[in-house]
Structure 1
Amino acid sequence: MFENGDLILRYLERLGVRCVFGVPGGSIEPFYNALARSQRRGGIRAITARHETGAALMAEGYARETGTLGVCCATAGPGATNLITGVASAYADGIPMLVITAQTSLEKFGQGSLQETSCTGINTVEMFARCTRYNTLVSHSAQLEPKLLQAISQSFSNTPGPVHLSIPIDVMRLPVPESLDTGNLRAFTNHSVAPSQTCLQALLKEVAETDRVTVVIGEGAASALSELMALIEARHWKFVATPRAKGLVDHFHPLFRGIFGFAGHESAAEALKVNQAERVIAVGTGLDEVSTAGWDPTAILSDRLIHLSPNPEHLTRSNMARLVILGSPELMLKPFAEMLANDPQRTPSVAHIEDDGLPADVSYDDRGKCDMQPGAIKPQALVTHLARSCPAGTRVALDSGTSFLWGIHYWNVSRPHNLPAAACLVHLGIGFATMGWAIGASVGIAAANPDHPVVCVTGDGSYLMAGQEITTALQENLNLLMIVLNDSSLGMVRHGQSLSGGESIAHDLPDINYARIAEAMGIESYRVESTEQLLALDLMAIFTRPGPCLLDIRIDRDELPPMGSRMKVLTGATP
């Protein structure tokens, strides 16, 4: 038996996809039948989430870690609508993802079928239109293959993101010939754009004539990190990273000045000011609120900017720039890197560490609070301690709220020398900023890379929304450490209300022991209420054991997270 569901899976196998995340149901059953056949022959297998939003977030995490397509699926009706928040998250951050939803039988459209979501009912295809790069109903079997290829192509394009195929149950289960073109899919997945020679000559002129330069590394620079670092080290330029690119760079590099933007460092802001940077070269960043500290005009956004990106949407935000170049950063920078690779003047990338163990050239809002003190656990010290305690190559997902505020500012990345340059060690779902994002994404990351532990830093508010997804990690025996920052509140809301002068309302949560909940689920767990208890934990043993573990950590709720740039935007204050 070979049906349209099998055809989809064969194409996904050729892209290197190993698993599909979803929740089964009646209308999607033929696709799960194909997944069952695939599993029996050692192919793509199904991973069952507890909620369809979690499945979409898992697929996003999987795509981030592997660099290939994340895939999620859901049945008709609420299964499809439950996916939307997770799909919107991937859309906001430009993550390639294939979303497959079911429809009831074509012949029953408009007849009031259970969970009908056709064009004559609750139209889910229309709902996905604004959060996907390609979105279509497959109404005939002959459409499936060309539409699948179109979807793959759009997902991996220079404006990447999720794509959606809505497939009726009768179309999905139709038998098709078991013959697939043996050619490769490169034509549908290779979208590298070569920059124009005129632009490259202009870039070369700017680089040759300028000594004081600060480079801003964005997430879109991942494929060009080796070339970019060769240029930075040869010219002794300072560099900073955007929050999304935090995990791409070594924070102990002697030329690194910190994270610029949301929850960033003052040292990064200083490195971008006109007295330190005649030119600012931003590579692979969309120049949104998060990466520009609320569109601060004294830093990146000025006529000193040289903006390089493969994504044309990024470049629409740099109309004030001195030079804008569309193209692959790797292709742009390769000629420079080849010239500079063996430059004797190149700055060695020897770790630059202060006596307190923190990067020497990065400023922190509360550097002294990064040290462990007896008693109540300071979140600054907790995050610093966790970053130091993780094995080399650990992947980290930071959740929306105070979790990513503390993590962006205080989680320091030390990259192993044997790590591929494009591998990202820290992930944030910060474009759409979905609460619970890191919980689902961390499961997807762990499923994609079982050779390294994964840490999820989340808050108690997010955990109450999506914490059940840890049982997916249990079922899959994934090496995932879930850190719940427990302050019995929606911390970012509480602090935001206080800083803005708003009413203090609707932010309190009950005092819950999340370790006991995890224990009831069969998950190793610990309640940590003091620094002494935290230091007594054998974290290395936890990291080396199979399966998930949860730490319910009571933090000092009165510590103010670094959210200054966000408050300026919310209150309308000028930078």
Structure 2
Amino acid sequence: MIENGDLILHYLERLGVKYVFGVPGGSIEPLYNALARSERRGGPKAVLARHESGAAFMADGYARATGKLGVCISTSGPGATNLLTGVANAYADGIPMLVITAQPSIERFGLGAFQEGSCTGINTVSIFDSCTRFNTLVSHPAQLEHKLLMAIGYALSNQPGPVHLSVPLDIMRAKSPDPAGNLNMRAFINHEVVPSAESVHRLLKELAYVQKATLVIGEGCAGAMEPLLALAESRNWLIVTTPMGKGLVSEYHPLYRGVFGLGGHESARDALHPDNAERVIVIGSALDEVTTGGWDPNAIFSNRLIHLSGNPDHLSRSVMSRLSILGSPRLLLEPFAKYLKHAAPRKQKYLPGADGFPKHVKYADKEACLDVEAPVKPQALYWALSQACPRNTPVLMDTGNSFLWGVHYWRTNPPLSDSTKLFHIGMGFATMGWAIGAAVGMALARPDTPVICFTGDGSMLMSGQEITVARELDLNILFIVLNDSHLGMIKHGQRLGRAEDIANRLPQVDFAAMAKAAGLPSQRITRLKELDDIGVDSLFSKPGPFVLDVVVDSEQVPPMRQRTKVLTGGNHEQQVRIPDESLV
């Protein structure tokens, strides 16, 4: 017989999970005891976050990097509620995550137990109900194994996301039979959805004679890029990515036209115009505000749309489409490439223009990318570092100006494999501070490569304490703080929409000094030329974390016209002059 905490660790070990992120407390102590025993035998290890939201962000980053289950745990009461924002962020982005929170012993429910979160108090199970795929209280010891397996199945399904088990103290301590070899785990592997033969036939018929089309690559295309590119090249169809899909195709591919959506490129919008696209084929993406350019009817959100995805959630908003098909992008695209290939694929040349930029992507304010004078232009910082970092470097962009600059100006390297994704943003719920914790989880998953985290001063003040986890574990993470003493996205959004200038200023903070006080090496720079003094290559090659505090030009306006348009109303440009992306 083993304790139920050991039972949980047994299944995590079988799934290949190496880390469990959390903050301990009295009610979750039996699970931490099981983690201590797990570590001694080489199983999953405990990672101590500084705040439970950071633990959830770390589990999120670990899951994105590995494709495995991210796991975060907390004690009862405030430990559980502190997890909530990170869990909601994972839910919005479809990240598989197992969330385990504690409760006082079930016999104490309703008696005012310390940090009680039961149905008779502040009901934490109810709180998680809207941001999880499966959510339950384990009320009897015999339930735990089957509810755990049900939760894992939901988390790793074709509608992936967080699942939540609330486990009382006495049930976590209870004994169960050793499960070795009892139940197989094959049902809990994310199997591809096989499209029906009829749907594939309809798709081939719909596209057989289309001369002009644009393929829109979402994050769900990872693992399907080879047949997708073969199809595009054989038909000379244009390619754009969503913000979440950025990085799955080389920006120098001659058919690539940039990112469409928040922070995107005018060339991508042009590629989706009816004159250039008889059909718009969206693959592996949900049709949310960020992806559709604020539901632009002249781009994706029209009856020219063909929507393909293995995730049924993605298809729920494509009611205006000509055709929506549920199926694995890889399995859908392979017959495309086979039957629609009327000629041998063209030999594609991945060559930059004379100025080093991709030839067919229209950047706003391209000149700012080459400006090395003070104060630092964010455009120049992103462009310079994206060219200097090693090819296999994952980069995370935090919510705010960080991801707006990143979507537009970060030059992604050609992926090393069909399923590699190196550019990461959390745009579904857009939680400030997400990237800081997620970078820790990603660095643990990828110990042989550096990880870059771009964050703002606002996010750093919210969640910057998690950099000390990177120091404790000696993780090779370059934390880059865009320091402009403002909540930049708020400031520029207010200006563009002619709102009141209020509640966007932050104090001037020396984040390099803060990092040094926490034991991390750091440097503050005020002009881009100072990167040469530091030695950019050394930032990626030296072990351990580094904090680069960059004083950026706070007057540089990020590419956010689409977001301002949505906030100010559908026909806002008749009342408010919003600058074109090419001017901002």
Same fold at TM > 0.5: yes
1:49-128 alignment, distance < 5 Å? 49-128=49-128
CA distance in 1, matches of 2:141, 2:420: 38
Q: Partner residue of 2:294?
A: 294
CA distance in 2, matches of 1:523, 1:188: 40
Q: Partner residue of 1:42?
A: 42
Q: Residue 247 of structure 1: SS of its match in structure 2?
A: coil
Q: Partner residue of 2:479?
A: 482
Task: Output the amino acid matched with 2:194.
Answer: A
Which range moved further: 372-381 or 485-494?
372-381
Task: Output the amino acid matched with 1:295.
Answer: W
Q: Partner residue of 1:164?
A: 164
Q: Partner residue of 1:391?
A: 390
- Residue 527 of structure 2 corresponds to residue 534 of structure 1: no
State the 1:241 CA deviation: 0.3
CA shift digits 1:520-563 (9 cap, x unpaired):
11111000011221332212112111110000000011011000
Q: Partner residue of 2:175?
A: 175
Task: Output the amino acid matched with 1:355.
Answer: A
**Is the CA contact 2:204–2:340 (under 8 Å) kept in the aligned structure 1?**
no
Q: Residue 244 of structure 1: SS of its match in structure 2?
A: coil
Which range moved further: 168-177 or 554-563?
168-177
CA distance in 2, matches of 1:536, 1:268: 37
1:37-436 alignment, distance < 5 Å? 37-181=37-181, 184-338=184-338, 345-416=344-415, 419-436=416-433
CA shift digits 1:58-102 (9 cap, x unpaired):
100110110010000000011000000000000111111000000
CA distance in 2, matches of 1:373, 1:538: 16
State the 1:223 CA deviation: 2.7
Task: Output the amino acid matched with 1:478.
Answer: L
Q: Partner residue of 1:498?
A: 495
CA distance in 1, matches of 2:36, 2:332: 45
Q: Residue 27 of structure 2: SS of its match in structure 1?
A: coil
CA distance in 1, matches of 2:530, 2:67: 38
CA shift digits 1:176-219 (9 cap, x unpaired):
22232365412233342211211111111122211211000011
CA distance in 2, matches of 1:267, 1:181: 55
Distance of aligned partners of 1:13 and 1:494 in 2 relative to their CA distance in 1, 3 Å threshold: same
State the 1:421 CA deviation: 1.4
* Residue among 506, 510, 513 paired with 2:510: 513
CA distance in 2, matches of 1:530, 1:181: 60
CA distance in 2, matches of 1:172, 1:513: 45
**Is the CA contact 2:454–2:480 (under 8 Å) kept in the aligned structure 1?**
yes
Q: Residue 531 of structure 1: SS of its match in structure 2?
A: coil
Q: Partner residue of 2:580?
A: none
Task: Output the amino acid matched with 1:425.
Answer: L
Task: Output the amino acid matched with 2:399.
Answer: S
State the 1:346 CA deviation: 1.3
CA shift digits 1:441-490 (9 cap, x unpaired):
11111111111111000000000000010001111111100000000011
**Is the CA contact 1:370–1:384 (under 8 Å) kept in the aligned structure 2?**
yes
CA distance in 1, matches of 2:558, 2:201: 44
State the 1:175 CA deviation: 2.0
**Is the CA contact 1:252–1:414 (under 8 Å) kept in the aligned structure 2?**
no
CA distance in 2, matches of 1:217, 1:454: 24
Q: Residue 468 of structure 2: SS of its match in structure 1?
A: helix
CA distance in 1, matches of 2:501, 2:197: 57
State the 1:340 CA deviation: 7.7
CA shift digits 1:410-466 (9 cap, x unpaired):
0011124xx221221011111111110111111111111111111000000000000
- Residue 19 of structure 2 corresponds to residue 19 of structure 1: yes
Task: Output the amino acid matched with 2:475.
Answer: L
**Is the CA contact 1:396–1:426 (under 8 Å) kept in the aligned structure 2?**
yes
CA shift digits 1:293-329 (9 cap, x unpaired):
1000001111111110112222121111111111111
CA distance in 1, matches of 2:135, 2:183: 25
CA distance in 2, matches of 1:543, 1:338: 42
Q: Residue 226 of structure 1: SS of its match in structure 2?
A: helix
**Is the CA contact 1:152–1:189 (under 8 Å) kept in the aligned structure 2?**
no
Aligned residues: 572
State the 1:337 CA deviation: 3.5
State the 1:222 CA deviation: 1.4
5+ unaligned residues in a row in structure 2: which ranges?
574-584
CA distance in 1, matches of 2:6, 2:250: 43
CA distance in 1, matches of 2:339, 2:292: 31
**Is the CA contact 2:158–2:190 (under 8 Å) kept in the aligned structure 1?**
no
Q: Residue 246 of structure 2: SS of its match in structure 1?
A: helix
Distance of aligned partners of 1:340 and 1:299 in 2 relative to their CA distance in 1, 3 Å threshold: closer
Q: Residue 317 of structure 1: SS of its match in structure 2?
A: coil
CA shift digits 1:260-286 (9 cap, x unpaired):
001100000000111111111100111
**Is the CA contact 2:247–2:413 (under 8 Å) kept in the aligned structure 1?**
no
Distance of aligned partners of 1:125 and 1:351 in 2 relative to their CA distance in 1, 3 Å threshold: same
State the 1:174 CA deviation: 1.3
CA distance in 1, matches of 2:382, 2:182: 49
State the 1:52 CA deviation: 0.1
CA distance in 1, matches of 2:3, 2:427: 39
Q: Partner residue of 2:578?
A: none
Which range moved further: 348-357 or 421-430?
348-357
Q: Partner residue of 2:577?
A: none
**Is the CA contact 2:377–2:553 (under 8 Å) kept in the aligned structure 1?**
yes
Q: Residue 245 of structure 1: SS of its match in structure 2?
A: coil
CA distance in 2, matches of 1:12, 1:473: 23
* Residue among 436, 440, 452 paired with 1:439: 436
CA distance in 1, matches of 2:435, 2:357: 25
CA shift digits 1:99-154 (9 cap, x unpaired):
00000001111111110111111110000001100000011111011101110111
State, as a whole percentage, how many aligned pairs show the same letter.
58
State the 1:33 CA deviation: 0.4
5+ unaligned residues in a row in structure 1: which ranges?
none
Distance of aligned partners of 1:184 and 1:127 in 2 relative to their CA distance in 1, 3 Å threshold: same
Q: Residue 299 of structure 1: SS of its match in structure 2?
A: coil
CA distance in 1, matches of 2:133, 2:561: 33
Task: Output the amino acid matched with 2:393.
Answer: T
State the 1:344 CA deviation: 6.5
**Is the CA contact 1:65–1:423 (under 8 Å) kept in the aligned structure 2?**
no
Task: Output the amino acid matched with 2:500.
Answer: E
**Is the CA contact 1:480–1:549 (under 8 Å) kept in the aligned structure 2?**
yes
Q: Residue 27 of structure 1: SS of its match in structure 2?
A: helix
Q: Residue 352 of structure 2: SS of its match in structure 1?
A: coil
CA shift digits 1:382-411 (9 cap, x unpaired):
110111111111001100010010000000
Q: Partner residue of 2:576?
A: none
Q: Residue 364 of structure 1: SS of its match in structure 2?
A: coil
CA distance in 2, matches of 1:290, 1:59: 24
Distance of aligned partners of 1:344 and 1:199 in 2 relative to their CA distance in 1, 3 Å threshold: closer
